[in-house]
Chains A and B, each alone.
Chain A
């Protein structure tokens, strides 16, 4: 069964550094997402992306965050200047359709630790 893959599985970075989290969504999916889960807290929506544009973003997704689909397969999340509070598990997801009942397929996540 096709799956969403994320790299790296763990990323440690120093405060103030830029970090790029990478994802390869399922090949025939058209909608892409990033969610994050701070330890002990809820999984939170960050951003959705379709047709090379952001469809929707949450309040968390400020100017420090950006997303990009640099080629036909990768989908990246960049954090320009990391803060301690960015430490979390980041999940990439994709869906075939953009309707709100379309199931999301999640990757295994990247655990980001900011020191």
Chain B
């Protein structure tokens, strides 16, 4: 069974500082990997995903994430935080070899706070 661990349920950064949100997964084979963001009173929005190929993937709003197989990690970064980045961020995985829909397994989420 797959699982996702997000270290740090709350992360606080200063505006302009580096954002690093951690995600580790457990899976018998490398899964597909996703980061979603949830702004207050909104649904989950896809930030980026890794399927195959280049291990550094770029997403919306200046975010990027790097798949590291040896570390079973998919950490999310952004060089310079903006106030509008304050939201909850979810890492998720799906099994490469299933069909009939995309069943995601989510982490517990990390609430990002950006301070002036």
Residues of A whose CB lies within 8 Å of any CB of B are 4, 6, 31, 33, 35, 41-45, 48-50, 55-56, 91, 93, 95, 98-109
Flag if A45 contacts B41 (CB, 8 Å): no
Say if the beta carbon of B61 comes within 8 Å of chain A.
Answer: no
Residues of B whose CB lies within 8 Å of any CB of A are 32, 34, 36, 41-46, 49, 51, 90, 92, 94-109
Flag if B90 contacts A100 (CB, 8 Å): no
Flag if B99 contacts A108 (CB, 8 Å): no
A97 CB → nearest B CB, Å: 8
A95 — which chain B residues lie within 8 A by C-beta? Answer: 101-102
B94 — which chain A residues lie within 8 A by C-beta? Answer: 100-101
* Bound CA–CA A95/B64 (angstroms): 23
A61 CB → nearest B CB, Å: 12
* Bound CA–CA A100/B96 (angstroms): 6
Within 8 Å by CB of B44, from A45, A99, A106, lies A106
Flag if A106 contacts B43 (CB, 8 Å): yes
* Bound CA–CA A68/B81 (angstroms): 42
A35 CB → nearest B CB, Å: 8
B9 CB → nearest A CB, Å: 9
A56 — which chain B residues lie within 8 A by C-beta? Answer: 98, 100-101, 103
